[in-house]
């Protein structure tokens, strides 16, 4: 037996059955690729003694191409994908199927992006590929995914039909469960050596030459296409045979269509994927009530076998309901429904059951036994409508089914829910707990993890089940016997303990001892504890972590506390197992960290306290409203419910039909996720505004105000005389938002005045929370400066301008967001953004709140995301649209031109193509005058020049989107590109990209990046007509600002590549600025600007903005764990990487010096 998640269960079989694996990261399938690459780096072999060759490609289409080539040449190959990645593989899928090539592709099924992107599960992606000719095998649990990975591999070789083995993304791919492991010997017993040899003999080779991929004409194509029919006709029987063989070897029986329920069922549900287990649980509750119900779980969806389907469908069925986990707008029914209807019509039965189709579970919408019961009830009552939905409230079409409110959660030894904060270690600790229980006891385990829409500062919810019996419950825990809250502030804004069963146990990470904690609980929480007779334990994990030198890492303490309370294992055994796990997990962090965590295991129990529960509520506190009463109506009616984890209750009518959402909503969300915030002391402040500029979340603001504007300021409001000449007789104030600060500490690290005294210091938030809220809100209401008031914008005074990008959900200390924030301060009121999918699209455009904001005139950035691969083209289209709309506006303006002075007409024409501050301000005043004269003319606003920016990360720009980016930059159009380079696919977990430097250990490169990083700037520079800059704000603020301004001013394409420190680098993110400086000082990130306009002046286009490298690269490498972990594992390899990087720095420096002479 082994404890693992679905991705690892599938990868373990795929790796052992194949020779070549083409990979590319996409959530939620990436861990399969990561696991295989890790095994390759450990030189593990497949079942035939060969180490599979892993090849990361530039896109999913590239991965499909490389495996197609490998298959053609006779090597067993596989790949993994999801969602849009699967769509990019479709052209190759047609080819692979058309050539009858044995092949298995494993898909963690995920929602396709339509009106919005979603990383969660449904079957829209696999259904979009159902016409390719691939057999489609669906698994519904971690065990099934493990088993079907092998069954599909055996069946593809025997049938010659390529297989798409798919399972529910996240729900199965990321669920941890205890499974029966398939050995190498069993795998080889399932694989026909004869079929494998036959496949290899068909491989393309000069020793037996043949031609594939010919072009055919109308005289023969049709006949040749029909020649494959016998293979598809034989495929279902081959799969059934392999399932029978598998049952003989393992004792686990599967069929193409598995029936469960009453042998004379009258009401039957047909379903595919993990939800079949959910329906089975509902059936178990209904059968004792004499209800004749059943479920058919479809495994082999393509080819759809009429014979096998009818064999399991009870003859007594008179109502059949087909559930599809996808939506096909405009169709008479979804794909599975249409196949079942066809099967029923072709069955030849005299009495045909009534068939209805419905939709469930889109984007991982919860589907639990209550929903299944609702469907059976509607079937029984005869009220079921075709095209119904379940799990939502559809108040527009009226097709949704209400779900019963009674819970059917079976009693288990443990149903536990843990609430934590992203990157606080809660999820990792819970995964480790499952491993310990699953592998050290005979108990069965299941774990599923829910994340909100933020990055590393998200709320995480871990659902853990433990029982003596196997656990197949693919839905969230509804009544928990144990609930742990690892962040005390959560009790003021989240309904957590409401999910506790009567008599459950609670664990609260509290800064107060047992005798005081009760008085700090809001009344709502006290009421739940009393009503349900809950037991409450508290522990001050933060204090223990501080004492032991663990900093903010409290997960080991809280994990030990869980074991101490639950007593699932003897504590002596728990301590030993935890210490072994700590040595393995934290070994690369050094012995001090290992010892501190192990000491925490020993000492935690003595700090665990039981709270004596009073007989009545005595708190004066209440939960904090999630949204201010002053927020807009939309925010109060929609956003507030989503923030309160009640988005499931929102009806269909609450949502925009086209996916268009309002901006400026993040200001209303009070995340309040840190216990410390910076406090400003003016005495030594130089008013440099570097803290403001580098704040990743826009939580620090500075303003200039006149003394009289502070007459009504709160008593604690702080200001000081402004020191610079551009504004006289003004006061300078700097304030921090206590609700939006994430406590990253970047501001305190960059503050130059901190060298003289405590100008910005991190202090406990709780004592100053209310006063600082008042100060900050008062400051926000003070007037903002306008750009037109600044004669020259530099790094200091730019921060006196209001940012129109604020309070994003990016990781604490993020190195990307300061660039975007600055961009909005420079051009926000006329900014058009096309954003590639990636980190910046998630923190920039993920619900429930969006950080792009508006000024007091209602103007602000207009933002859109299309896909990952097409962002450059998408942004170019937006630029062309603006140009077209401007042409139309000028044409319409000509209709009233006779009434305008010639000088004004000429100025309007000039300003329509000028995005400078003076031109924009003048044009807007002109438009206002024209509207006062001629009335409201909508087209006039198109005469204000927009600032178009295409934004994305290095994964997009260097890899999947490079072809489009190259074309757009070669177009000559006036378009700006900002690439925020964090040197990895950070959004999907930190996989290798072409920007990853030599020697960096990232996912897909566990031994360190072997090759050199791609120099995008240099390759574009050689085209000659593109403005190009490499910047690092932490190393040179004004150079970064100047580059953005010059790029915007350049009358053609521009490319600005910005270095962004990232949590995936293995650094303290409060020191991200220092690492940017190190990158520049070592020459690994030279700063420069390349402006082709200088050619016309007889000057060199290239201007170097950083000095000759003055520090050795080793200084940086030893300070970032992505590099220095190689030093610990393999010093010789580390030295080789170091030498390579030194050579690269020297080569690049030499080349740049030569290009400085290019005039």
Q: Which long-range CB contacts under 8 A does 907-911 form with residues at least 24 apart?
A: 908/943, 911/943, 911/944, 911/945
User: Which residue is it, tokens 């920007």?
Assistant: 995
Does the annotation place 1071 within a ligand binding site?
no
Cis preceding linkage at 848, omega within 30: yes
The two three-digit tokens of residue 598, written as one number:
């192990």
Does the annotation place 744 within a ligand binding site?
yes
Phi and psi angles of residue 262, each rounded to the nearest 5 degrees, phi first:
-70, 135
Q: Length of the chain in residues, anyone? A: 1159
Exactly one of 3, 79, 110, 850 is catalytic; which is it?
110
Does the annotation place 660 within a ligand binding site?
no
- Provide the β-strand partners of residue 166: 107, 138
HSE toward the beta carbon, residue 782, CA cutoff 13 A: 30
- Provide the β-strand partners of residue 322: 270, 357
CA distance 325 to 126: 10
Does the annotation place 36 within a ligand binding site?
no
Does the annotation place 811 within a ligand binding site?
yes
The sheet carrying 53-56 orders its strands as: 53-56, 20-23, 77-81, 104-109, 163-168, 135-138, 300-302
190: burial class by Cβ within 10 Å (0-12, 13-18, 19+)?
A: buried
CA distance 1152 to 1159: 13
Does the annotation place 121 within a ligand binding site?
no
The two three-digit tokens of residue 95, written as one number:
């080819």
For every residue of 86-155, DSSP letters joined together read HHHHHHHHHHHHHTT---EEEEEE-PPPSSS---S--SHHHHTTTTSS-EEEE--SHHHHHHHHHHHHHH
DSSP code of residue 1108: S
CA neighbor of 113 nearest in space, from 682, 1037, 837 = 837
- Cα–Cα distances (Å) from 1109 to 925, 1082, 1112, 1113, 1149, in that order, read 49, 5, 8, 9, 8
Does the annotation place 47 within a ligand binding site?
no
Helix, strand or coil, per DSSP, at residue 995: coil
Any residues with CB less than 8 A from the CB of 99 and at least 6 apart, and which?
A: 72, 212
Characterise 211 by phi-psi region: left (phi > 0), alpha (psi -120 to 50), beta (else): beta
Phi and psi angles of residue 777, each rounded to the nearest 5 degrees, phi first:
-65, -35
H and E: helices and strands count for the chain = 39, 36
Does the annotation place 741 within a ligand binding site?
yes
User: Does residue 60 have an active-site annotation?
Assistant: yes
CA neighbor of 684 nearest in space, from 752, 778, 611, 630 = 752
The sheet carrying 862-864 orders its strands as: 862-864, 831-835, 947-953, 976-981, 1054-1059, 1027-1031, 1088-1090, 1102-1104
Does the annotation place 235 within a ligand binding site?
no
Contact status, residue 333 vs residue 281, Cβ threshold 8 Å:
no
CA distance 97 to 135: 9
The two three-digit tokens of residue 805, written as one number:
């990008």
Does the annotation place 319 within a ligand binding site?
no
Exactly one of 37, 56, 60, 334 is catalytic; which is it?
60
Helix, strand or coil, per DSSP, at residue 1055: strand
User: Does residue 266 have an active-site annotation?
Assistant: no
User: Does residue 432 have an active-site annotation?
Assistant: no
Does the annotation place 485 within a ligand binding site?
no
The two three-digit tokens of residue 247, written as one number:
């049952």
User: Does residue 1094 have an active-site annotation?
Assistant: no
171: burial class by Cβ within 10 Å (0-12, 13-18, 19+)?
A: buried
Does the annotation place 17 within a ligand binding site?
no
Helix, strand or coil, per DSSP, at residue 746: helix
- Return the number of other C-beta atoms located less than 10 Å from residue 804's C-beta: 25
Exactly one of 604, 987, 1064, 1124 is catalytic; which is it?
987
CA distance 988 to 956: 12
- Return the number of other C-beta atoms located less than 10 Å from residue 963's C-beta: 14
CA distance 475 to 648: 14
CA distance 1043 to 1021: 15
- Return the number of other C-beta atoms located less than 10 Å from residue 921's C-beta: 16
Catalytic residues: 27, 60, 110, 987
Binding site for [4Fe-4S] cluster, residues? 685, 688, 691, 695, 741, 744, 747, 751, 811, 814, 839, 1062
Binding site, residues? 685, 688, 691, 695, 741, 744, 747, 751, 811, 814, 839, 1062
């Amino acid at each position: 037996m082994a404890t693992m998640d679905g991705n690892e269960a599938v990868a373990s079989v795929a790796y052992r059955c194949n020779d070549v694996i083409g990979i590319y990261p996409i959530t939620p399938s990436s861990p399969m690729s990561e696991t295989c690459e890790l095994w390759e780096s450990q030189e593990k072999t497949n079942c035939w003694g060969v180490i599979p060759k892993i090849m990361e490609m530039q896109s999913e289409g590239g991965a499909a191409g490389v495996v197609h080539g490998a298959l053609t040449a006779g090597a067993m190959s596989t790949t993994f994908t999801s969602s849009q990645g699967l769509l990019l593989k479709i052209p190759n899928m047609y080819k692979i199927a058309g050539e009858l090539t044995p092949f298995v592709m494993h898909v963690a099924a995920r929602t396709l992006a339509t009106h919005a992107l979603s990383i969660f599960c449904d079957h829209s992606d696999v259904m979009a590929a159902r016409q390719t000719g691939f057999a489609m095998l669906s698994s519904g649990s971690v065990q099934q995914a493990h088993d079907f990975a092998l069954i599909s591999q055996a069946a593809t070789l025997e049938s010659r039909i390529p297989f798409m083995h798919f399972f529910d993304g996240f729900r199965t791919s990321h669920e941890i469960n205890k499974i029966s492991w398939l050995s190498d010997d069993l795998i080889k017993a399932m694989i026909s050596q004869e079929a494998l040899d036959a496949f290899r003999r068909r491989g393309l080779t000069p020793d037996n030459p043949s031609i594939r991929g010919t072009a055919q004409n109308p005289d023969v194509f049709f006949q040749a296409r029909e020649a494959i029919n016998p293979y598809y006709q034989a495929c279902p029987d081959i799969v059934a045979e392999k399932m029978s063989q598998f049952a003989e070897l393992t004792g686990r029986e599967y069929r193409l269509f598995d029936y469960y329920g009453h042998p004379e069922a009258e009401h039957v549900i047909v379903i595919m994927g993990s939800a079949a287990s959910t329906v089975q649980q509902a059936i178990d509750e209904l059968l004792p009530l004499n209800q004749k119900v059943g479920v058919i779980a479809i495994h082999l969806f393509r080819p759809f076998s009429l014979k096998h389907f009818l064999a399991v469908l009870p003859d007594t069925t008179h109502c059949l309901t087909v559930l599809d986990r996808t939506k096909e707008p405009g169709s008479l029914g979804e794909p599975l429904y249409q196949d079942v209807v066809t099967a029923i019509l072709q069955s030849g039965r005299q009495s045909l059951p009534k068939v209805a189709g419905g939709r469930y579970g889109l984007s991982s919408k919860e589907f639990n036994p209550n929903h299944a019961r609702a469907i059976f009830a509607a079937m029984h009552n005869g009220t079921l409508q075709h095209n119904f939905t379940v799990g939502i409230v559809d108040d527009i079409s009226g097709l949704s089914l209400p779900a019963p409110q009674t819970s059917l959660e079976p009693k288990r030894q443990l149903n536990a829910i843990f609430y934590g904060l992203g990157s606080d270690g809660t999820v990792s600790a819970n995964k480790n707990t499952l491993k310990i229980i699953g592998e050290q006891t005979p108990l069965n385990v299941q774990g599923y993890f829910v994340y909100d829409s933020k990055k590393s500062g998200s709320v995480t919810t871990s659902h853990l089940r433990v029982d003596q019996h196997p656990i197949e419950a693919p839905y969230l825990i509804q009544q928990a016997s144990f609930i742990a809250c690892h962040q005390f502030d959560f009790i003021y804004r989240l309904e957590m303990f409401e999910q506790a069963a009567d008599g459950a146990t609670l664990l609260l990470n509290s800064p107060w001892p047992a005798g005081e904690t009760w008085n700090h609980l809001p009344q709502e929480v006290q009421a739940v504890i009393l009503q349900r007779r809950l037991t409450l334990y508290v522990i001050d994990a933060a204090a223990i972590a501080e004492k032991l030198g663990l900093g903010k890492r409290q997960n080991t303490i809280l994990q030990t506390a869980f074991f101490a309370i639950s007593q699932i294992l003897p504590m002596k055994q728990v301590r030993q197992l935890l210490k072994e796990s700590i040595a393995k997990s934290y070994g690369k962090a050094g012995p001090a960290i290992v010892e501190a965590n192990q000491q925490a295991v020993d000492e935690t129990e003595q700090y665990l306290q039981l709270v004596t529960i009073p007989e009545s509520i005595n708190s004066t506190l209440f939960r904090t409203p999630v949204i201010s009463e002053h927020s807009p109506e939309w925010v109060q009616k929609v956003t507030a419910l989503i923030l309160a984890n009640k988005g499931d209750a929102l009806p269909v009518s609450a949502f925009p039909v086209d996916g268009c959402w309002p901006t400026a909503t993040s200001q209303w969300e009070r995340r309040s996720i840190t216990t410390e915030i910076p406090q400003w002391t003016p005495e030594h402040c130089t008013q440099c505004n570097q803290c403001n500029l580098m704040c990743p979340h826009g939580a620090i603001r500075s303003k200039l105000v006149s003394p009289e504007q502070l007459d009504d300021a709160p008593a604690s409001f702080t200001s000081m005389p402004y020191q610079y000449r551009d504004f006289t007789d003004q006061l300078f104030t700097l304030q921090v938002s206590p609700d939006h600060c994430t406590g990253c500490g970047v501001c305190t690290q960059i503050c130059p005045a901190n060298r003289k005294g405590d100008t910005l210091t991190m202090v406990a938030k709780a004592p100053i929370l209310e006063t600082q809220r008042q100060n900050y809100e008062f400051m926000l209401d003070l007037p903002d400066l306008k750009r037109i008031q600044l004669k020259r914008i530099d790094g200091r005074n730019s921060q006196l301008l209001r940012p129109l990008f604020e309070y994003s959900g990016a990781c604490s200390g993020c190195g990307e967001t300061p660039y975007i924030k600055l961009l909005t301060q420079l051009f926000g009121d006329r900014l058009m953004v096309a954003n590639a999918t990636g980190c910046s699209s998630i923190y920039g455009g993920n619900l429930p709140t969006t950080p792009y904001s508006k000024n007091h005139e209602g103007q602000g950035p207009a933002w859109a995301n299309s896909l990952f691969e097409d962002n450059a083209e998408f942004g170019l289209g937006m630029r062309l649209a603006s140009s077209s709309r401007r042409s139309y506006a000028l044409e319409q303006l000509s209709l009233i031109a006779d009434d305008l002075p010639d000088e004004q007409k000429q100025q309007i024409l000039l300003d329509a193509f000028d995005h400078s501050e003076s031109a924009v301000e003048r044009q807007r005043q002109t438009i206002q005058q024209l509207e006062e004269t001629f009335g409201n003319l909508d087209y006039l606003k198109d005469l204000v020049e927009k600032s178009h920016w295409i934004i994305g990360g290095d994964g997009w720009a260097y890899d999947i989107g490079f072809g489009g980016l190259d074309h757009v930059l070669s177009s000559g159009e006036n378009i700006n590109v900002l690439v925020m380079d964090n040197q990895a696919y950070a959004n999907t977990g930190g996989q290798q990209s072409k920007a990853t430097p030599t020697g960096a250990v990232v996912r897909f490169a566990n031994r360190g990046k072997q090759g050199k990083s791609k120099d995008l700037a240099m390759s574009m520079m050689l085209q000659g007509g593109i403005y190009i800059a490499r910047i690092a704000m932490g190393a040179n603020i004004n150079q970064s600002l100047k580059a953005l301004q010059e790029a915007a001013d350049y009358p053609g394409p521009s490319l600005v590549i910005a270095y962004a420190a990232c949590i995936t680098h293995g650094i303290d993110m409060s020191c991200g600025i220092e690492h940017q400086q190190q990158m520049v000082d070592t020459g690994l990130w030279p700063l420069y600007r390349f402006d082709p306009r200088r050619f016309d002046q007889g000057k060199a286009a290239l201007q170097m903005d950083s000095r000759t490298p003055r520090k050795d690269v080793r200084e940086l490498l030893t300070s970032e764990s992505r590099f220095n972990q190689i030093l610990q594992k393999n010093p010789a390899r580390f030295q080789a990487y170091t030498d390579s990087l030194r050579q690269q720095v020297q080569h690049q420096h030499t080349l740049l010096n030569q290009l400085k002479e290019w005039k």
